[in-house]
Chains A and B, each alone.
Chain A
Amino acid sequence: QKEVEQNSGPLSVPEGAIASLNCTYSDRGSQSFFWYRQYSGKSPELIMSIYSNGDKEDGRFTAQLNKASQYVSLLIRDSQPSDSATYLCAVNLFYSGGGADGLTFGKGTHLIIQP
């Protein structure tokens, strides 16, 4: 069973604080991991991709990957009200049993940044 799990939230964070979003996945063989941001009524936009264990930083965003524990997280530093959105985790699950390929998306975490 392909699964990508996220806490649906809402996660409420004060402006200027660090927002921490987490995602777990079911298959140890997964190779590619992505974070997308989706504003209400809009399509997802890519924030970051990560492929190797450890941290990857891009501006105020840091993605963290731990393949042994099967989780990937996204940290947002100095959170701004404009960061309020739903954040989708996507994983390229290793799927050897046939059927659909590609990315499996979590249901997303709704993040609210309080001014």
Chain B
Amino acid sequence: DGGITQSPKYLFRKEGQNVTLSCEQNLNHDAMYWYRQDPGQGLRLIYYSQIVNDFQKGDIAEGYSVSREKKESFPLTVTSAQKNPTAFYLCASSIDRPGDTQYFGPGTRLTVL
């Protein structure tokens, strides 16, 4: 089955820790995205990547970092510089351009203790 997987489903972080969220897709999509969703809010773009070894900041990139070493993988690191990281994190992919249809993974819910 083709799709997008995210792990872990739930993640707890202590203050001052960096954590990495995994996103893998086997859809052969070139573009991948990370969004953050807070309660009652829409999705806000953190980072996106259109090709391997290249990525662009989204609207709320501060305190986050990404890498794109493989087409299938786009991990997101939430650093200690992100002051309010508790949120639902969603990974998505599209065939190539950002304006294409985006398909979402199941999400990771991050809670700071």
Contacts and interface: CB of A to CB of B under 8 A. Distances in A.
Interface in B97-113: 98-107
Contact of B40 (A88, A105, A107): A107
**Interface centre among B35, B43, B59, B102, by most A CB within 10 Å?**
B43
User: Taking chain B's interface residues, is the majority helix, strand, or loop, or is none over half, making it mixed?
Assistant: loop
B42 A103 contact: no
A103 B99 contact: yes
Interface size class of chain B, counting residues whose CB lies under 8 Å from the partner chain: 20 to 34
Interface residues of A, number: 24
A84 interface: no
Given A8-B40, A43-B105, A88-B42, A100 B99 contact: no
Nearest to B43: A105
Interface of A: 4, 8, 31-32, 34, 36, 42-46, 49, 88, 90, 92, 99-103, 105-108
